[in-house]
Amino acid sequence: MFSKILIANRGEIAVRIIKTARRMGIATVVVYSEADADSLAAEMADETVFIGPAPAAQSYLVADKIIAACRETGAQAVHPGFGFLSEKAEFAQRCADEGIVFIGPNPHAIEAMGDKIESKKFAAAAGVSCVPGHIGEIQDVAHAVRISEEIGYPVMLKASAGGGGKGIRVAWGRKDVEEGFPAVRAEAKGAFGDDRIFIEKFIESPRHIEIQVLGDKHGHVVHLFERECSIQRRNQKVIEEAPSPLLDEATRAAMGAQAVALAQAVGYDSAGTVEFVAGQDKSFYFLEMNTRLQVEHPVTELITGLDLVEQMIRVAAGEPLGFEQKDLKINGWSIESRIYAEDPYRKFLPSIGRLVRYDPPVEGAADGYVVRNDAGVREGDEISMFYDPMISKLATWAPTRGAAIAGMGRALEDFHIEGLNHNVPFLAAVMDQERFKSGQLATSYIADEFPDGFAGLEPTPFQADVMTAAATYMHRTLAARARRVGNGLSGPLSRTEWVVAVGKAKRPVKLSDLEDGLTVELPGEERTLRLSTIDWRPGLPLFRGELDGAAFTVAVEPAGEGFVIRHRAAKARVLVLTPLSAELHDRLPEKKKADTSRLVISPMPGLVVSMDAAAGQTMREGEVVCVIEAMKMQNIIRAEREGVVKAVNAKAGDSVAADEVLVEFA
């Protein structure tokens, strides 16, 4: 076994590998760029080596720097994590040539399966069912249009070296190919240093199901069952689970056998994933093989009890697998939610900045479920524009799928982040949807369920009750404190009758104290709410309690008047008013929203790649105004109206902030 390994990665996966290495008694070395000098991974590692500027192309993707760091520290092996150099066959070969063990598959397996074009050729030759498409490189836009029309729309434009949802576009017609091909090629070049593109048929309403495989250097290969990864946006996985609600035992066995056969055919000797696109009828086609550890590996670990990082290290050290296929069983169900620094209210655009508050749920056993949170950040850390915007991976396990979903919903309630936008409310919305609970999933799920984007949800009756009870308790607590500070000058606390406004909905309430909480009587509804087991004091951003015995957590912010309260995906301004004040509020005129229809505003912070608008130019609705790049993704900004450009406030190469005015129309 190794005594020291080097981790050629950053963020949560570097932290994840350090934890397993520590448990195995292995010392760790972490390489870091300028952006990661103060990272959690750098703090946790036994040794660190600086490898250059923040852009990955100048640091984490430079093989010479990784090899030099191994030489400098005496590391015997390199774990590449995922992304960066993890699927570069030439890097694995370079390690072998230098006498350094690559903790991953052999170079031949990476070369055969890691390249999406070559892997499809290999799979076709091996008799594996593949998605219809053009297995070969696309030369230019005209070639891409010709191939797309031969296959038939819709098609997918995909980077050969792609991964993590980068370098992929769905084209529904000729215009999409003409605009999308250059963007995909540019993304591929920037993210992977490889601009080769291929095209395949896009199967409508498909499911994304992958099989985890594990092989050793003695010819043994097993599969660790499947993961369902159909909840995606921009081809980036958002929610994963294991096992899949689609598969029956026969389909699971067939997919597993095909994945194992494919892995054996290339002499696979590490952890890897064979990905399939599956129809709702349980038909499935080989999509690609990821010759590395997957981001979503925690759900597999939770249902099998295996540590995949440990297995990779042991296999790399030459140990045979300690189990056979017949020894492996599925235990319970696991869900994973990726917590991203992005704004779901703005079409999931990246949101960079500092984690002013970062308070994840407590890990370990909870009420009927288990919580796990894989993160590489701490409160005060900054989410950089140079890397993936993932903050952490929140996973829950329970004996059943329903219990795992319910546990995830509660865990998301307890996740508190401030300082940047995040997707926790969106993830919570999905957990509450009947379609998700039923298991009727597809890669089009987000587009199907949120066709106009995500704008939050209206409070359910239970959520309105929660907001009402929490607001009245907080109002009384703050009034009591003001009374103490003001020597009784703030008025009596004897009032029991109030009006609570949750958004625009008002309801009269009558309050009475309990030993451990508050009773909220709803005279107009002839029922009473019992608020108990309260965990809140002035200044805390989370209010925890039980309403009629049901545990809940809400995020609270003081407003100019009242509170802004969020429970899962529902957010509302809540006021606790006297009856007279409630009457007066009804007479207040509504504030009109500012007219921004003549402005093109940057939806996110990023870099202006190109500016296509010029002063005096007439632009049509839908025409490209500019391209903004952030988090390795290029975003096309289009004109939302027809008109003459009055002013252009940014040019190619400029860094812009969110909400910055880029173009003004006359």
Q: Is the pLDDT of residue 127 over 80?
A: no
Residues 298 and 428 in one domain: yes
Catalytic residues: 288
Residues 415 and 317 in one domain: yes
Residues 407 and 550 in one domain: no
Q: Which of 449, 473, 492 is the last residue of a domain?
A: 449
Q: Higher confidence at residue 314 or residue 602?
A: 314
Among 453, 449, 423, 424, which residue's Cα sits nearest to residue 438? 449
Conformational region of residue 128, where left means phi above 0, alpha means psi within -120 to 50, and beta covers everything else: beta
Among 596, 599, 595, which residue's Cα sits nearest to residue 639? 599
CATH code of residue 276: 3.30.470.20
Q: What is the mean pLDDT of residues 107-111?
A: 94
Residues 441 and 529 in one domain: no
Query: Is 454 a member of any domain?
Result: no
Q: Give whole-number Cα distances, 191 to 73, 159, 182, 381, in Å.
A: 28, 10, 14, 23
Residues 547 and 445 in one domain: no
Q: What is the mean pLDDT of residues 283-308?
A: 95
Per residue in 156-177, pLDDT tens? 998 887 766 778 899 999 999 9
**CA pair distance 330, 325, nearest whole angstrom:** 12
Query: Is 648 a member of any domain?
Result: yes
Query: Is 116 a member of any domain?
Result: no
Per residue in 169-216, pLDDT tens? 999 999 999 999 999 998 888 888 888 888 988 887 899 999 999 999
Predicted confidence at residue 541, as pLDDT, reads: 95
CATH code of residue 190: 3.30.1490.20
What are the start-end ranges of the E strands in 592-654?
Answer: 599-601, 606-611, 618-619, 624-630, 633-638, 643-648
Question: How far, rounded to the nearest angstrom, does the alpha carbon of residue 450 sit from its chain's CA centroid?
Answer: 17
**CA pair distance 408, 282, nearest whole angstrom:** 27
Query: Is 69 a member of any domain?
Result: yes
For residue 364, give both structure tokens: 């370990």
Query: Is 206 a member of any domain?
Result: no
- Main-chain dihedrals φ then ψ at residue 665, nearest 5 degrees: -95, 150
**CA pair distance 606, 631, nearest whole angstrom:** 8
Provide the 8-state DSSP code for 402: H
pLDDT band, residue 488 (cuts 50/70/90): low
Q: Which of 397, 415, 449 is the last residue of a domain?
A: 449
Residues 582 and 607 in one domain: no
Residues 9 and 91 in one domain: yes
User: What is this structure's pTM?
Assistant: 0.84
Q: In the chain, pLDDT over 90 holds for what percent of residues?
A: 74
Q: Give whole-number Cα distances, 190 to 55, 75, 195, 387, 611, in Å.
A: 10, 30, 8, 12, 19
Rounded mean pLDDT of the chain? Answer: 92
Residue 108 neighbours by CB under 8 Å, 6+ apart: 89, 266, 267
CATH code of residue 488: 3.30.700.30
**CA pair distance 405, 652, nearest whole angstrom:** 45
DSSP string, 191-209: HHS---EEEEEPPSS-EEE
Q: Is the pLDDT of residue 90 over 70?
A: yes
Query: Is 119 a member of any domain?
Result: no
CATH code of residue 8: 3.40.50.20
Predicted confidence at residue 447, as pLDDT, reads: 92
Per residue in 224-279, pLDDT tens? 999 999 999 888 899 999 999 999 999 999 999 999 999 998 999 999 999 999 98
**CA pair distance 64, 538, nearest whole angstrom:** 54
Residues 497 and 642 in one domain: no
Query: Is 150 a member of any domain?
Result: yes
Is there a contact between 89 and 19 (Cβ–Cβ < 8 Å)?
A: no
Provide the 8-state DSSP code for 457: B
For residue 115, give both structure tokens: 């390249």
Residues 623 and 479 in one domain: no
**CA pair distance 270, 79, nearest whole angstrom:** 12
Residues 271 and 412 in one domain: yes
For residue 183, give both structure tokens: 């963007």
Q: Which of 426, 449, 472 is the last residue of a domain?
A: 449
Predicted confidence at residue 560, as pLDDT, reads: 82
**Which residue type does 632 have?**
K
Query: Is 211 a member of any domain?
Result: no
**CA pair distance 402, 395, nearest whole angstrom:** 14
Per residue in 49-80, pLDDT tens? 999 999 999 999 999 999 999 999 999 999 99
How many domains does the chain fold into? Answer: 5
Q: What is the mean pLDDT of residues 113-139?
A: 79
- β pairing state of 624-630 and 349-350: unpaired
| Residue ranges making up the domain that contains 533 | 461-586
How many Å from the N-terminal Cα to the C-terminal Cα in the chain?
70
Q: Give whole-number Cα distances, 344 to 296, 336, 350, 604, in Å.
A: 21, 18, 9, 12
Residues 160 and 304 in one domain: no
Predicted confidence at residue 370, as pLDDT, reads: 98
Residues 244 and 379 in one domain: yes
Q: Is the dihedral of CA 30, 36, 39, 43 positive or negative?
A: positive
CATH code of residue 618: 2.40.50.100
Q: Which residues pair with 646 in a beta bridge?
A: none
Q: Is the pLDDT of residue 590 over 80?
A: no
Helices and strands in the chain: count of H runs, count of E runs? 17, 40
